[in-house]
Structure 1
């Protein structure tokens, strides 16, 4: 049952408060696309309350999630969100502000455990209604920081690792998430609902998770910012896994500062000690760059990228930064094959452990039982595609296959690191800048995902940090570019991403178009 159906009707007062904070008149067809800086200032001055902010987003969810534009971005809403906002407002009024996230709403991907009334399901029918008795580590951090867990977001079922010919943004429990820029097109996956919730102004901030592309692709294709941090910088404890070798959670927001602010709130203690000061401070720093690499290998495949990289070339050269132009960028085929072997092995090992640790019912807490459950339920569980990855994982022998897995793990990382280190270490570049993904494609249940190209693989496999931000449009469809750097280089990458954001000024609110103009 979707809790958002219980929500009250639009609170006109909340909309008026938000309008006053921005200095712009509210319009019925143009809600306030507030950023975190504005929200924080308004909260600090008393012009805005967390209760009003949460009410506004709950109203937007009620209006466009299952009604209106029918975006299907949200699976469950936190029935206690307003009460929690009121309590945090009282804390603020009494002089207690826990952190910069105090009173700000955050949407979580539905594969992240929460100790509340919102199920943790990964969108799978087999986990329908499954409640966990403890928060994932990052959720506990967010609650301690004063963030409000607003809702859980739809996703590509099992984080898009269930079967071949999958449909991005589809799950048995959440249905098909839609791209708010063009409702007939994909939101990409697997963090589809998190990205769409941010892009469609259903939340200020969201958390996605990535194994390979599941933050970068939906963020780019929905025209927002996404950060895949350095491996190990955010705890994966409590997140329904694919593979611990590559899984990591990261922030999604409408601008770089907001994403950095959220990342600050979920870092591990080790990461905090490495960064020394909040990463959100980096956004306002001028990046100290000597050399950057611009990947031009996709100029012909997506012509809207060519003028972007021409503009960036002029910008960097005018500032005395050496620019290396790459006309070729192709990951070795064997890297992808090795990666897949790692993912299947760790899927078997890590997911079954999570299912047992988080007390999933015994009749669906192994791969064999999940496969059998889906076969018994048929289309209700499987929808428009199969479960080949679940079947392959069920066939893994964790003992007999261990040596091959270890070799694949070493090989995939070596190949990915070599591809990036050629420029980041050998040539001493501060960052690699490249197109994130091709434009969104039409949703087609009969054919599966129609990916053009994506560039997330090397950073995902190596565990290097990457950030995607809006860069251009193909018609009304957003295009993103990524910045990639060495491990723990987030401060440099964030200051660079913020500089690119100011230079390109490419963010646009979605049009919710039903057909391409």
Structure 2
């Protein structure tokens, strides 16, 4: 069912009759309209999502997207309804139910597990600063989403979207296809209408990949715009949290709430000076005169992707953008430097995080303890893949080692000043566009997750913003268009992405198909007789 809009929405609000599915899939603005008119309330919205989770997460299509629920979400919603009745509306998130990736701490009785049984009792008595920013903005924290265990940083042969705590997240567009990761549950839950929006985290591709494969909007902000305190870490250089939503306006509204300086996170020292009202900054005419660099990062890998990308580029041009072809740069040196940086920073970061948890609740206090825990519980933790990445990280040099320091400096330089900044300057463009990634691959427990690639590493390593917006489908599987800019260009990327979205309306609501193999054009080909 399509999301209600315009006259249909106005009629629905006037009559007070709004279908449950329409309400669940509505935008933040439409939900605010419904609550303002009395056609809905935060409590009814929250209850709707809880009922959908009950029906679709462990039952029905069994998405496994949600890992835990906040037991006082309904009570929180009722308090926000009382505020609205008293004339206080905090903003576009007031009363809107939001899910958090389960590597983000929230003081609501849910454990923060990173998908690992080693942290199943890690029930914190503290909110991550970004959670407080969301609740201060009026959001209802609905619960936690499943993820690739340890944010996909345990094994190079992992099943993306699988965790020992939550199982495998299924893609709502085709249940035998991967949801990507590591923010797999956040992407699948938003696509399926299990929440109004969700928070994901990214080190390299962990927001943008699941966003594109689940057919939603995902923004990896500039590193330092959003606090990382009390988030299970991988990399101090690259980690950031960001919004995952069904449209760009909702992502902008969430970022407005999320962004801000946190004294406990030195990377955010400029955030208060850099942040703005990202929702108000959106401009449907932003493409007019915009100079955009075109990367052919996946040219020739799949004819369906090429066709969708050409159509997206035509829409950008029709919107008034000036397109400039940019030679696809090599990212080999960036990837090589990044590998050592992540290993060293993960070891330091996860040891510091585990040391900050309650020793009465969390018995694994170091990375070495985690490795031993996984070996002792291999039947549940490692039934499909191992922990070679953990072991290489354990052997990695410290943060004062010259090899680490050189790799860190090389990575930043190659991806930033000599990478994205140079590519923008040489082409005289303000942003780059690229294919966000290929369509979701089939889940393969034998060979692990496989996909056609993306262009996530340069902005991830540089710490620059990366926005993905739905641009089309290949055999019913979504693919996205990436907008990549320099540091602090978040508002501009959102505005350009919004203009593209308004011109194309390419997002499709999932059908929960069992498999794309059942699509007529595919099944018919399989059934050809000699």
Would you say the 8 A contact 1:18–1:48 is kept in 2? no
Q: For 1:23 and 1:484, locate their aligned partners in 2 and report how far apart those are by CA, in whole Å.
A: 43
Q: For 2:353 and 2:375, locate their aligned partners in 1 and report how far apart those are by CA, in whole Å.
A: 22
Alignment partner, residue 488 of structure 2: 488
Alignment partner, residue 54 of structure 1: 46
Q: For 1:487 and 1:152, locate their aligned partners in 2 and report how far apart those are by CA, in whole Å.
A: 29
Please, which of 240, 243, 266 is the counterpart of residue 248 of structure 1? 240
Please, which of 162, 182, 194 is the counterpart of residue 190 of structure 1? 182
Aligned ranges for residues 86-97 of structure 1 at < 5 Å? 86-97=78-89
Aligned ranges for residues 279-318 of structure 1 at < 5 Å? 279-287=278-286, 289-318=289-318
Would you say the 8 A contact 1:172–1:383 is kept in 2? no
Alignment partner, residue 33 of structure 1: 25
Return 184-193 or 409-418, whichever deviates more. Answer: 409-418
Q: CA deviation at 1:425?
A: 2.7
Alignment partner, residue 70 of structure 1: 62
Return 19-28 or 487-496, whichever deviates more. Answer: 19-28
Q: Say which SS state the counterpart of residue 282 (structure 2) adopts.
A: helix
Alignment partner, residue 402 of structure 1: 401
Would you say the 8 A contact 2:99–2:143 is kept in 1? yes
- Distance change >3 Å, CA 171–CA 309, structure 1 → 2: closer
Alignment partner, residue 435 of structure 2: 435
Alignment partner, residue 7 of structure 1: none
Alignment partner, residue 264 of structure 1: 256
> Residue by residue, what CA displacement relative to the aligned partner does 1:15-59 show, whole Å, maximum 9, x if unpaired?
xx9994498987798875211110111222332200000000000
Return 427-436 or 464-473, whichever deviates more. Answer: 427-436
Q: For 2:256 and 2:200, locate their aligned partners in 1 and report how far apart those are by CA, in whole Å.
A: 15
1:458 equivalent to 2:455? Answer: no
Alignment partner, residue 144 of structure 1: 136
Alignment partner, residue 325 of structure 2: 325
Would you say the 8 A contact 1:22–1:38 is kept in 2? no
Would you say the 8 A contact 2:66–2:185 is kept in 1? yes
Would you say the 8 A contact 2:331–2:458 is kept in 1? no
Work out the number of aligned pairs and report it.
498
Would you say the 8 A contact 2:17–2:39 is kept in 1? no
Q: Say which SS state the counterpart of residue 281 (structure 1) adopts.
A: coil
- Distance change >3 Å, CA 25–CA 64, structure 1 → 2: same
- Distance change >3 Å, CA 306–CA 163, structure 1 → 2: closer
Alignment partner, residue 338 of structure 1: 337
Q: CA deviation at 1:363?
A: 3.3
Alignment partner, residue 12 of structure 1: none
Q: For 2:313 and 2:367, locate their aligned partners in 1 and report how far apart those are by CA, in whole Å.
A: 50
1:44 equivalent to 2:36? Answer: yes
Q: Say which SS state the counterpart of residue 483 (structure 1) adopts.
A: strand
Would you say the 8 A contact 1:304–1:472 is kept in 2? no
Q: CA deviation at 1:492?
A: 1.4
- Distance change >3 Å, CA 364–CA 94, structure 1 → 2: same
- Distance change >3 Å, CA 24–CA 311, structure 1 → 2: farther
Q: For 1:23 and 1:255, locate their aligned partners in 2 and report how far apart those are by CA, in whole Å.
A: 26
- Distance change >3 Å, CA 290–CA 378, structure 1 → 2: closer
Alignment partner, residue 474 of structure 2: 474
Alignment partner, residue 349 of structure 1: 348
Q: For 1:502 and 1:305, locate their aligned partners in 2 and report how far apart those are by CA, in whole Å.
A: 21
> Please, which runs of 5 or more residues in structure 1 have no aligned partner?
1-16
- Distance change >3 Å, CA 237–CA 430, structure 1 → 2: same
> Residue by residue, what CA displacement relative to the aligned partner does 1:386-411 show, whole Å, maximum 9, x if unpaired?
01121122223426x62111100111
Q: CA deviation at 1:207?
A: 0.1
Q: CA deviation at 1:271?
A: 2.9
Would you say the 8 A contact 1:26–1:32 is kept in 2? no
State the superposition RMSD in angstroms: 2.2
Would you say the 8 A contact 1:186–1:443 is kept in 2? yes
Q: CA deviation at 1:96?
A: 1.6
- Distance change >3 Å, CA 315–CA 57, structure 1 → 2: closer
Q: Say which SS state the counterpart of residue 279 (structure 2) adopts.
A: helix
Return 376-385 or 504-513, whichever deviates more. Answer: 376-385
> Please, which runs of 5 or more residues in structure 2 have no aligned partner?
1-8, 262-269, 520-530
Q: Say which SS state the counterpart of residue 199 (structure 2) adopts.
A: strand
> Residue by residue, what CA displacement relative to the aligned partner does 1:237-268 show, whole Å, maximum 9, x if unpaired?
11000011000000000000011111111001
Q: CA deviation at 1:145?
A: 1.4
Q: For 2:155 and 2:10, locate their aligned partners in 1 and report how far apart those are by CA, in whole Å.
A: 43
Q: Say which SS state the counterpart of residue 198 (structure 1) adopts.
A: helix
Q: CA deviation at 1:146?
A: 1.4
Would you say the 8 A contact 1:35–1:254 is kept in 2? yes
Q: Say which SS state the counterpart of residue 467 (structure 2) adopts.
A: strand
Q: Say which SS state the counterpart of residue 72 (structure 1) adopts.
A: coil
Q: For 2:318 and 2:185, locate their aligned partners in 1 and report how far apart those are by CA, in whole Å.
A: 40
Q: CA deviation at 1:504?
A: 2.1
Would you say the 8 A contact 2:201–2:239 is kept in 1? yes
Q: CA deviation at 1:282?
A: 2.2
Would you say the 8 A contact 2:281–2:491 is kept in 1? yes
